[in-house]
């Protein structure tokens, strides 16, 4: 039996089952979430190429699957990445028990998670661009649910993904034909810009972040958070695999400089825009842009520790995104909108969603004692040790993001208690909300518990650590 085939069939089955309307929101989210977590466990732990006895039946899991001359391979180097994608999916799908992000969130979300996982397994791996494009197509249905008019954001994401796919495929062909090596910088010079454009789409480097603001205006906050979380995780893995696979990319000083410059650009633009928003969702997407920019600085450091920190920050981002998505959903649903004047004093009306959304926002910004802080602290220290002139952009980005977060804290908990009746939260929403805040703070207080595990996800990319 082929492990990728099992993963593909199970993903398809989960998508179909969770899409059955009669199932109800909570059972469907439970099936999708737990199923995705189970697939993550299979990807991480299943013994491959070893004969097993299951109920008297001898089976052996083959790590590869051949399709039309190309293969999907659950290779040791990427199986933790595949598992990570499924685990993020599971975490986000469980939140749908409360968030209710639309009818197509679960089936299309699972399908997209499966496609992103497959994009890590496909050989040659630059073909993954097509699978990422198909995942973006599935995300169109997640973002533009029938009751929301987020098609503008969804179509921008689709268009960017399509052009990113074209660039990556052309780059793959050029790499294959040109025979680029570290000894042929002139050939590398013609491939790298094409490849960089393809990857920039997935890493939301401006202007490819332009689907986020209209998404913040129209899409369901939880759906937006989930799509952003999954797409950037896939983008980060693809970027790390490119760095792992091609020594000439790692060796190119221009690549590191480009990543650092892109990171600084994201911090500056995100910082300016985050401070000038009148909607919580818009402020959040720009704080996210700052966070992604800091992640780019980690990649641009060109060191093993930098790559590990980029991975660690990506996982912390998931925690913040999930918390913010759930909190913002409950807050906007309870108050009727996420605009500044509507949210004034809403923290007294809906304290748990308010604290959850602000905690998520501050975590993504890198506020001390939240999940997002240790990675950024570690990166600042690392860049200082390396003598990088870009080190101070990390605290600058954190300050910009935190100021935006505190601005919203003062809006939400400012202006005194409101007189209107307090909307009731279900016990499940209350417990998920409290749990979300607890995770954000616990991971900030005890990063040593989770960081080694997260960093281990990319330990299979051995060339990065050679």
Partner 1 sequence: MGDGLGGNGGGAAGRGGPMTTVPALLEIVLAAAACVAGVLLLTASDRRVVLAGLGCAFIACSALLIGQVPFVVSLALMTSGLAATAILFLSTSAAAWPWSSAGAGALPEGRPFRLVLTAFIVVAVVGLSQGVNLPGRTVPQPILATAMGLIGLGALQLGLSERSLRVCIGLLTALAGFETLYFILEPALAIVALLGSVNVVVALIASYLLLVVRPAPPADGPA
**Site for partner 1, rule CB under 8 A:** 67-70, 127, 130-131, 133-134, 137, 140-141, 144-146, 148-149, 151-152, 154-155, 158-159, 162-163, 165-166, 169-170, 173-174, 177-178, 214, 218
- Measured from the CB atom, the residue of 180 and 203 that comes closer to partner 1 is 180
Minimum CB distance to partner 1, residue 167 (Å): 10
Q: Are 352 and 430 in contact (CB under 8 A)?
A: yes
Q: What is the DSSP letter of 24?
A: -
- Measured from the CB atom, the residue of 144 and 305 that comes closer to partner 1 is 144
- Measured from the CB atom, the residue of 190 and 410 that comes closer to partner 1 is 190
Sign of CA dihedral 282, 287, 293, 299: negative
End-to-end Cα separation, the chain, in angstroms: 34
- Measured from the CB atom, the residue of 141 and 356 that comes closer to partner 1 is 141
CA pair distance 199, 205, nearest whole angstrom = 9
Minimum CB distance to partner 1, residue 207 (Å): 12
- Measured from the CB atom, the residue of 186 and 424 that comes closer to partner 1 is 186
What kind and span of H or E run contains 348? helix 346-349
- Measured from the CB atom, the residue of 130 and 455 that comes closer to partner 1 is 130
- Measured from the CB atom, the residue of 165 and 352 that comes closer to partner 1 is 165
Give CB contacts under 8 A, 24+ apart, made by 150-154: 150/214, 150/215, 150/217, 150/218, 150/219, 150/220, 152/214, 152/218, 153/211, 153/212, 153/213, 153/214, 153/215, 153/217, 153/218, 153/219, 153/224, 154/211, 154/215, 154/219
- Measured from the CB atom, the residue of 133 and 402 that comes closer to partner 1 is 133
Minimum CB distance to partner 1, residue 352 (Å): 31
Minimum CB distance to partner 1, residue 170 (Å): 7
Minimum CB distance to partner 1, residue 187 (Å): 9
- Beta strands across the sheet bearing 70-73: 64-67, 70-73, 122-123
Minimum CB distance to partner 1, residue 270 (Å): 21
Tokens of 207: 């202007």
Tokens of 233: 């995780």
Minimum CB distance to partner 1, residue 158 (Å): 7
Minimum CB distance to partner 1, residue 251 (Å): 21
CA pair distance 91, 34, nearest whole angstrom = 9
Burial of 414 (0-12, 13-18, 19+ CB in 10 A): middle
């Amino acid at each position: 039996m082929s492990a990728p085939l099992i993963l593909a069939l199970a993903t398809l089955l989960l998508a179909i089952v969770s899409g059955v309307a009669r199932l109800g929101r909570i059972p469907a989210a439970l099936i999708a979430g737990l199923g995705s977590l189970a697939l993550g466990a299979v990807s991480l732990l299943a013994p491959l190429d070893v004969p097993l006895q299951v109920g008297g039946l001898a089976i052996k899991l083959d790590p590869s699957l051949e399709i039309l001359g190309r293969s999907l391979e659950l290779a040791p180097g990427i199986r933790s990445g595949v598992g990570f994608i499924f685990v993020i999916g599971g975490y986000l799908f469980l939140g749908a028990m409360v968030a209710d992000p639309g009818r197509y969130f679960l089936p299309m979300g699972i399908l997209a998670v499966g496609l992103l996982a497959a994009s890590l397994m496909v050989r040659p791996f630059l073909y993954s661009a097509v699978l990422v494009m198909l995942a973006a197509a599935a995300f169109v249905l997640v973002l533009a649910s029938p009751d929301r008019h987020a098609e503008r954001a969804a179509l921008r994401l689709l268009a960017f993904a399509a052009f990113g796919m074209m660039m990556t495929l052309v780059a793959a062909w050029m790499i294959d034909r040109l025979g680029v090596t570290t000894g042929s910088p002139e050939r590398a010079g013609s491939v790298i810009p094409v490849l960089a454009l393809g990857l920039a789409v997935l890493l939301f480097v401006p202007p490819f972040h332009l689907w986020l603001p209209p998404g913040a205006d129209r899409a369901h906050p939880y759906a937006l958070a989930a799509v952003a979380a999954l797409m950037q995780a896939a983008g980060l893995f693809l970027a790390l695999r490119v760095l792992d696979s091609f020594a000439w990319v790692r060796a190119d000083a221009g690549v590191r400089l480009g990543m650092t410059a892109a990171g600084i650009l994201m911090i500056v633009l995100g910082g300016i825009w985050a401070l000038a928003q009148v909607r919580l969702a818009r402020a959040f997407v720009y704080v996210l842009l700052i966070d992604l920019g800091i992640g780019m600085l980690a990649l641009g450091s060109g060191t093993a520790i930098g790559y590990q920190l980029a991975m660690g920050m990506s996982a912390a981002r998931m925690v913040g995104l999930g918390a913010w998505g759930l909190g913002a959903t409950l807050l906007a649903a309870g108050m009727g909108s996420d605009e500044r004047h509507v949210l004034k004093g809403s923290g007294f009306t809906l304290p748990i969603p308010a604290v959850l959304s602000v905690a998520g926002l501050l975590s993504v910004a890198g506020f001390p004692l939240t999940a997002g802080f240790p990675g950024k602290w570690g990166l600042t220290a690392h860049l200082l040790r390396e003598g990088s002139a870009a080190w101070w952009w990390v605290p600058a980005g954190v300050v910009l993001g935190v100021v935006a977060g505190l601005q919203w804290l003062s809006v939400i908990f400012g202006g005194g208690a409101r007189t209107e009746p307090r909307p009731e939260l279900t016990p499940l929403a209350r417990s998920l909300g409290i749990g979300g805040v607890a995770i954000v703070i616990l991971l900030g207080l005890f990063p040593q518990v989770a960081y080694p595990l997260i960093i281990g996800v990319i330990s299979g990319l051995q060339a990065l650590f050679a």
